[in-house]
A and B are shown apart, each in its own frame.
Chain A
Amino acid sequence: AQSVTQLGSHVSVSEGALVLLRCNYSSSVPPYLFWYVQYPNQGLQLLLKYTSAATLVKGINGFEAEFKKSETSFHLTKPSAHMSDAAEYFCAVSDGYKYIFGTGTRLKVLA
């Protein structure tokens, strides 16, 4: 069965610093992988998705993620954090029509 693990429930970075949010997946078939962002009291917004095309996926708001099959990873990065990036981030793997979500990583950006 498919699953995802997000390492670190809370991550703090300084404004302008690199953002790295970790996600490892387990899948018996080539996976479809997603990153979503959730701002306080809002729904989940799709940041980017991997659907077996390019391994480096660019998303909205300057985020990108690299699919590494050898490491079963799909880490989310952004070169320079902004205060507005403070939110909770969810990695998900598609299991047919179901999404299996990770437990989320709350990103805090320090001024």
Chain B
Amino acid sequence: DAGVIQSPRHEVTEMGQEVTLRCKPISGHNSLFWYRQTMMRGLELLIYFNNNVPIDDSGMPEDRFSAKMPNASFSTLKIQPSEPRDSAVYFCASGTSLGGGSYGYTFGSGTRLTVV
């Protein structure tokens, strides 16, 4: 199993540009999560999909952020327009149920986004 695959690994863009981050979850995992990691705020859950349906997007910072999961093997996180404060590492994770409402996650290697 190749694990959770994210692309690109690094992205440098100018303020105001659109940025699209991509994620391929592990086959058979029915849950997908996007997290953001910054020094100031640590790891924050942005959005959670279950069976390709967005269940909780309360962590999405603002309308500039959007996420889609058109099928079980692909998800995108888009920022339009991007701002310097969006600079962070964005992680995708896919998961399976552990029972009791909890999930076991496998994380991708992340996309380091720098907005200049």
Q: Does B12 sit within 8 A of A, measured CB to CB? A: no
Main secondary structure of the interface of A (DSSP, over half): loop
Check B42 against A46 for contact (C-beta < 8 Å): no
Q: Does A22 sit within 8 A of B, measured CB to CB? A: no
Residues on A lying within 8 angstroms of B by beta carbon are 30, 32, 36, 41-46, 49, 51-52, 90, 94, 96-99, 101-104
Number of A-B contacts (CB under 8 A): 55
In the complex the two chains form, what is the Cα distance from A52 to B102 in whole Å? 12
Check B106 against A46 for contact (C-beta < 8 Å): yes
On chain A, the residues within 8 Å of B99 by CB distance are 51
Residue in chain B with minimal CB distance to A90: B43
Q: Does B34 sit within 8 A of A, measured CB to CB? A: no
Check A44 against B107 for contact (C-beta < 8 Å): yes
On chain B, the residues within 8 Å of A99 by CB distance are 43, 45, 105
